[in-house]
Structure 1
């Protein structure tokens, strides 16, 4: 980890065989780590919940439930139902958890990047996005045998087939297995957080930027990030943490907190 490269440096260190624990996103599983495992099948990575400082599970904060943007309909628009129809079409046909092979083939778009042909993800092109997390869990639970599966469950059957292929030696499906396997996977960890233990702490602020956010938000965010980086890489002792928090509060953190709480009270 370095201030210049951020968490990407930790990932690169792990890929070089010099690290065994990495804080990262789902993209680590589906990206470079897949290639590393194909080159050296003796390597294995497991997905674990966020580590805790004590004997109680950590409670990660997650972003606003509106996924950081809104779909707005102009007052008086002739067909306000159109956005709902687009959202339904996305969930039923294009969302990654429901994408049928035939639909993927039909809508797959190719582009040339650095002289190589690459496919553009279908769902990235949808004008309206909406997540169907319950469908994700339902397909996964059916694929791993926790729920009954029928011939009509196309996506669950496809997922089950891929998991079995990996278990039978198809290393090309390693990332799929680490994303959707029965344990130590992205889905098993997510299910543990969302459905079993209810451990996520959602961010309930869904308003626009407050006055102090506009004036000081970027400055104090940079201060906090750089200060935390300095602790991580050993430039500051861990004892500096409380001082950093106090300085963040003085620079505008307390005022932003006040403004956010006032917004929350106004919409309850």
Structure 2
């Protein structure tokens, strides 16, 4: 079950660690085989409970081998080299057996679209496998029913140093989501650093130059640029066919209005501290009304597409690729998903990524939610719960490496094969995506002219960027993202290096009881209200009515439940 966050993390790695868009992570070692000497595994006491072995080798082989039952979500898009399938003895099952002494046995496997329903049935039956990936809601049920192992001690004892370093920094929010009363009850399917999904502003820099416009640093300057892009024929075809600000009605993610809202210090869809030690829902903050009022005026002035309310991501991409749109908010992923495709159509086009313009003198901060692809749990009473931690270690080693340099990684065999034709990581029942340092490593090597510290994959990227000037459309993307003056990766890194430079969702508790019942309806009401206001189909004061109704129809109760969690988990 690979969620959107997992794909975003893998795509971020793809952008900096491969040649010609092949998705891969932190390189390949010289031998490809873990060098650690196997250590004794946990033994079983007379009571049947596992006791830790004396040597806590993160990659130590369990002896005698253990059979671990699990389940798997398959994906219809995934194909594999000849001889490897979801349910046969593939490279991941062999790796876990030969390296860790873990023999995987599938209780069932279903398409990812059916996985959640199948898991609900499995949990309700009480007959769960030894290892499984569950949602936050399902994790809550399992913990309450005392059906899963407490993994606190085995994680502390067996997690590899690099994974612990990541948990202490980039992955801390995910770890908190799996923690109950101070005890780690699951290993998250880490989605990488949540800050990797922050929004930046993408602008056609060739249009800025043609119209002699400055790079927009404020909201007022952004409006001026949008106005010029609509009215001053930046594509030079003599037709009024260019658009202003390209935005979707979604409030988070690539193409959304979220980056614009952040420019007003408004943070939609996340819980933020209100200054009194409590959490408040960002979508109902007063700053949101100011941002919506500005968007409404821009819509009235023709600076936002008339089809704003119905436009989806693919149509936004079409506007960019066809040369009609020169401004939108995007994550680092949009450098591959949108920006690069324009260059293939028009090699004379150019892009620059910029920090979020602000409404005032205070720099805007991007906001991000905390999402996890799922939670790996171990059945209560399983003899070797450390097996799950060791499997995560081995996944991280093969896909990312043992450190930020990618030491001992082997992603060309275990993540993606044949220039990303085959996705091999999905064959593992445990997956996790951690912070990538690939951009920084290649950027710094290019600046110094010394690639000696780079692993094989990053050296390939270095050679590609070094050997092109950006004029080849097929190589443009890799070249562009390694130019610090224009790169979205550089903007992201600058935000990440600032203390509190990004506003991260403060609530890690999953859905509350009332949220389960009401949040979908409240979210729909929010989207409908925001769209109507922006499209001038409702007055701006309807925002106040929305806030009142949001609170009355469940929002106040959700806020109370969220703050009860927050008070006990600070």
Correspondence for 2:206:
none
Cα distance in 1 for partners of 2:490, 2:459 equals 18
Residue 108 of structure 1 deviates from its aligned partner by 4.2
Of the three residues 329, 333, 339, the one matched with 1:33 is 339
- Check 1:245–1:121 CA distance in 2 against 1; reply closer, same or farther (3 A cut): farther
Find out whether 1:78 has 2:78 as its counterpart: no
Report deviation, 1:263.
0.7
Query: Within 2, Cα distance between the matches of 1:82 and 1:76?
Result: 13
Using the size of structure 2 for normalisation, the TM-score is 0.41
Structure with max Cα Rg: 2
Query: What secondary structure, in the 3-state scheme, does the structure 1 residue paired with 2:421 have?
Result: strand
| 1:133 alignment partner, SS class | coil
Instruction: Calculate the aligned-residue CA RMSD, in Å.
Output: 3.3
Which residue is 1:88 aligned to?
393
Whole-Å separation in 1 of the counterparts to 2:410 and 2:400: 14
Aligned counterparts of 2:466 and 2:311: Cα–Cα separation in 1:
38
Q: Deviations over 1:50-80 (max 9, x none)?
A: 332222222222222x625222222322222
Asked if 1:176 corresponds to 2:471, the answer is: no
Residues 103, 9 of structure 1: CA spacing in aligned structure 2 closer, same or farther, 3 A cutoff? closer
1:226 and 2:534 are equivalent in the alignment? no
2:359 maps to 1:53: yes
Q: Which residue does 2:198 correspond to in 1?
A: none
The Cα of 1:41 is off from its aligned counterpart by 0.5
Name the structure where helix makes up a greater proportion of residues: 1
Distance, in Å, in 1 between the alignment partners of 2:382 and 2:460 is 41
Tell me the secondary structure at the aligned position of residue 71 of structure 1: strand
Spell out, residue by residue over 1:111-147, the C-alpha distance to the aligned partner (whole angstroms, 9 max, x if none). xxxxxxx824344444323333263465245344379
Q: List per-residue Cα deviations over 1:246-268 (Å, max 9, x = no partner).
A: 33223222221221111111223
SS at match of 1:23: strand
Deviation, structure 1 residue 218: 0.1
**Deviates further, 88-97 or 21-30:** 88-97
Inter-partner Cα distance in structure 2 for 1:141 and 1:179? 9
Note the C-alpha offset of 1:210.
Answer: 0.8
Contact 1:3 1:229 in 2 (8 A): yes
CA, structure 1 residues 50+255, in 2 after alignment: closer, same or farther (shift >3 Å)? farther
Q: What SS does the corresponding residue of 2:350 show, helix, strand or coil? A: coil
Match of 1:4 among 304, 310, 330: 310
Q: 1:136 to 1:229 in 2, by over 3 A?
A: farther
Kept in 2, the 8 Å contact 1:94–1:122? The answer is no
Spell out the pairing of 1:38-187 with structure 2 (5 A cutoff): 38-64=344-370, 67-95=372-400, 98=406, 103-104=411-412, 108=416, 119-133=421-435, 135-136=437-438, 138-145=440-447, 149-151=451-453, 153-167=455-469, 169-187=471-489
Instruction: Name the CA distance, whole Å, in 2 between partners of 1:103 and 1:7.
Output: 30
Deviation, structure 1 residue 212:
1.3
| Compared CA separation, residues 101 and 87, structure 1 to 2 (3 A) | closer
Unmatched tracts of structure 2, length 5 or more: 1-247, 249-307
- Quote how far apart the aligned CAs of 1:236 are: 3.0
TM-score after normalising by structure 1: 0.80
Equivalent residue, structure 1, for 2:269: none
Q: Distance in 2 between matches of 1:100 and 1:228?
A: 49
Deviation at 1:221, TM superposition (A): 0.4
- Listed one character per residue, the Cα deviations across residues 168-207 of structure 1 (whole Å, up to 9, x for unaligned) are 6332122223444423223212111111354111113222
Quickly say closer, same or farther: Cα 1:132–1:141, change in 2 above 3 A: farther
1:21 and 2:327 correspond: yes
Relative contact order, CA 8 A, sep 6+: which one is greater? Answer: 2
Deviations 1:27-58 (A, max 9, x none): 43212432321121111122223332222222
| Residues 165/241 of structure 1: CA separation in 2 closer, same or farther (3 Å cut) | farther
Q: How many residues are treated as equivalent by the alignment?
A: 260
